Amino acid sequence: MGFLVGILTGFFTSVGNNQLKKLAGVPASFIVSNQFVIGTIMLAIAVSLFGNWELPPLAFFALLVILTTIEYLNSYIYARALQLSPQSLVGPLYSLSVVFLAPLGILFLGETPNMSGWLGIILSVVGSLLLGFDTGDPGIRPAVRALLRERGSYFMLGSALLSAVAVILTKFSYVSVPPLLSGFWIYVGLTVISTGIAFRRGLPVVSKELSMPFLYLLLATGFGVVFHYIGLALIPAAYFIACKRSSVLFDVVLGRVVHGETHFRSRLLGAFVMFVGVLLVMFSGRTF
């Protein structure tokens, strides 16, 4: 059951990414604010149904201040990446968080990847290069140039790095608070921060033609958030995150089907190689 929940979470993540592309003209601060509100509501319902309400220790709230700040920045630049560049290109780049997690895990958690983990990290890098591969101009340098030509790539690489940092902090939070309840309090903090920023920047008017993509985004966000924390409670985090990273494959397919994005074969191959890399990292015994 947990594996199915992980794949569903990956699917809803990709659906949300697809709608972000359609909302390129809407301020990212306004979008993520609404996402956090929906996530908070859905998590409150989930805790009431599947968890227990309790007040976390004071140390958790101290960590929460740092974690929510990082998560807000992460969500903002993640949204900007998908607004600026093709979903099939920048969406899978988020999986490079496993590459950033290797040195961070060694430094802060004392977790050193084994042979399988290092192979997975290498495959994640190789897969990212395949995303930019062009049969008309083959080679590593052209592939790197193709990736770096897109402004969204820089945002997504930054998001992957912040995600790695957030994972380290979240692992510390789970020591004192169950995942579902921890997720609720994190989203409460994110809602407070993002709503304040959104109001300060001014609330835009979402046009009629963008109202449905906006609604689909919020629905995908709500289901994705709830499935994420339920999945973490059903199976080990490593297995769940590995299943959730199926979103890289959905990103390429939806980018092609909905937006008509090019280089489908090379990007699908790159996403598949990255997905295999993530699987190797996760099943090597690392929880990142």
- DSSP character string of 47-116: HHHHS---PPPHHHHHHHHHHHHHHHHHHHHHHHHHHHS-HHHHHHHGGGHHHHHHHHIIIII-----HH
pLDDT along the chain (288 residues), means of 10: 88 96 93 96 92 88 91 97 97 93 81 87 94 84 92 97 86 71 93 94 83 94 90 77 91 97 95 94 65
pLDDT score, position 288? 45
In this prediction, residue 172 carries a pLDDT of: 66
**225 in any annotated domain:** yes
**68 in a structural domain:** yes
Indicate whether 63 belongs to any domain.
yes
Look at residue 288 and tell me if it is in a domain: no
Into how many domains does the chain fold? Answer: 1
In a domain, 90, yes or no: yes
- Residue 217, in any domain of the structure: yes
Identify whether 167 is part of a domain.
Answer: yes
Give the domain range for residue 197. 2-283
Model pTM score = 0.90
Position 246 in a domain: yes
What does the pLDDT read at residue 23? Answer: 94
CB 277 within 8 A of CB 92: no
